[in-house]
Structure 1
Amino acid sequence: MIGQRPPTVWIDDSHAIVRRGMAACLQQADFVVRGESAVLNPEPVVADLDVLVFEYGGGATLRRAVRLSSGGGTRLVATVRDVTEQSVREMVDAGVCAILPHLTLTADSLITSLRAVVAGNVALPGDMLAKLLVHVTQTSHLGPQGLNPRERSVLRLLADGMDTRGIAEDLRFSERTVKNVVHDVLTKLNCRTRAQAVAVATREGVI
């Protein structure tokens, strides 16, 4: 729940049956489906929208989705038919919070991933994390000061799929403290997203 209301989502996919299937699954899980589109047409209405699920069709589609969601609190979730190292890198670098391969997409994985994203977490399957590692190890590195024990603890819980509230409860921190720690970790690791930070920390062996 977002405050006292159910989370809102817009579903984009080139196939109407896929859109309707995702909508039915999410509605049963108490999501409110605001609308549907194919290749972002008609253009999604993102005002007060929590999640935009869009079909990744290359850089142009990704840039359009990022533009639509910029300046607001809308989180991006991408479905993808052809998973490559380049596509994973592009999506994570652009701030996509979850990547869902069509071949392995199920009702449970869709609902679980969107709930994680709404809670402020990321949802990146292990095989995609491996692809991302190849990229982030070339562009990011630990700062000379490294990570302190508190930062490592928060990163471990992020890697386990926990959201800000769950981390705060587990470590007995305030949610504000957790957010500040995450910010510091992203800065130290030269990462833009939590997914990148987890990938870097995993590769460097610090979690």
Structure 2
Amino acid sequence: MERTEVPLWLDESNVIFRRGLADCLTVAGFTIVGESAGLRPLPDLGTAALLVAEADGAGLDAVARLVAERPVPLLGVLDAPRPELVRSALEHGFAGLLVRAETTPDSLVAAVDAVAAGSGSLPPAALAGLLSGVGGDALRLRAAAELLARRELDVLRLLAEGSSTREIAGTLCYSERTVKNIVHDTLAKLNCRTRAHAVAIVVRQGAL
């Protein structure tokens, strides 16, 4: 997919950071179709193919409601990779996350590319936070991951490495339709809304 085919909407309260995002993404070949702060003005998801938004704070429910009405992939920006923030963002449907202080032009573009291609994108700090926050729900996570077949774990492993559906199909000698069906079944088994959420659950219990 060409980057010009992925129009973006940026929702970010810090105007300087938002302008930095816009500049980096424009230079990389993306089109910015709109900007907002705290969903004001309300993002027009009829014109955007992907929404970059703040993924912590009180606005998560509002973002989830917005994309429920007009589904588009979500890439979130976190102030800190605390386990509870990462889990909450993934549970609200974010397919990828960035940590504000650690975001570089290259990591930003790579994350947007991955989310636009249908893959998840979690920075090392976010994964580390999840691994450190297993806590009392470890048994639930282990039980969920044990439901997965070997081929489902293989697909999740490649997703965790940032592979696209086409790349996974080539690596595993499957059709792209088969990969999509495996991903769909995996999300259903794990009761996840996004690929990134599924990868995070399985990483946290050590199956990958």
Q: Which residue of 1 aligns with 2:18?
A: 19
Any idea what the Cα deviations from partners look like across 1:34-58, whole Å, max 9, x if unmatched? 1111222111111141111112341
Letter in structure 2 aligned against 1:100: L
Name the structure 1 match of 2:96.
Answer: 98
Cα distance in 1, alignment partners of residues 4 and 123 from structure 2: 28
Three-state SS of the structure 2 residue aligned to 1:77 is strand
Which residue in 2 is equivalent to 1:162?
Answer: 163
Structure 1 pair 106/185, CA: closer, same or farther in 2 (3 Å)?
A: same
Query: Match of 2:87?
Result: 89
Aligned twin of 1:53: 52
8 Å CA contact 2:87, 2:130 repeated in 1: yes
Alignment partner, residue 200 of structure 2: 199
1:142 is the counterpart of 2:143: yes
The range that moved more, 163-172 or 100-109, is: 163-172
- Mapped to 1, the partners of 2:200 and 2:108 lie a distance apart of 22
Specify which structure has the bigger relative contact order, considering alpha-carbon pairs within 8 angstroms and separated by 6 or more residues: 2
Classify 1:192/1:44 alpha carbon distance in 2 versus 1 (closer, same or farther; 3 Å): closer
The two structures have a TM-score, normalised by structure 1, of 0.87
Structure 2 Cα separation of the partners of residues 144 and 108 of structure 1: 32
Count of residue correspondences: 205
Q: Distance in 1 between matches of 2:174 and 2:147?
A: 21
Q: Which runs of 5+ in 2 are unaligned?
A: none
CA distance in 1, matches of 2:206, 2:80: 29
Contact persistence 1:141–1:189 (CA under 8 A) = no
How big is the shift at 1:25?
Answer: 0.9
- The CA distance in 2 between the partners of 1:205 and 1:56, in whole Å, is 25
SS at 1:140's partner residue? helix
Query: Could you say what secondary structure the match of 2:69 adopts?
Result: coil
| Cα-to-partner distance string for 1:132-183 (whole Å, 9 max, x where unaligned) | 3435636434359743332222121111111212111221211110011112
Tell me the residue number matched to 2:180.
Answer: 179
Question: 1:140, 1:191 within 8 Å by CA — same for their partners in 2?
Answer: no
Q: CA deviation at 1:187?
A: 2.9
**Aligned position for 2:110:** 112
Q: Does the C-alpha gap of structure 1 residues 166 and 72 become closer, same or farther in structure 2, counting only changes over 3 Å?
A: farther
Secondary structure at the aligned position of 1:100 is classed as strand
1:92 partner letter: L
| Change in CA separation of 1:18 and 1:73 when aligned onto 2, cut-off 3 Å | same
Q: CA RMSD in A?
A: 2.3
CA contact (8 A) 1:122 1:161 kept: yes
2:120 partner letter:
V
- In structure 1, runs of 5+ residues without a counterpart are none
Structure 1 pair 46–139 and aligned structure 2 pair: CA distance change class (3 A): farther
1:48–1:74: 8 Å Cα contact kept in structure 2?
A: no
Distance 2:11 2:160 in 1: 28
85-94 vs 63-72, greater mean Cα deviation: 63-72
What stretches of structure 1 move > 4 A for 4+ residues in a row?
none
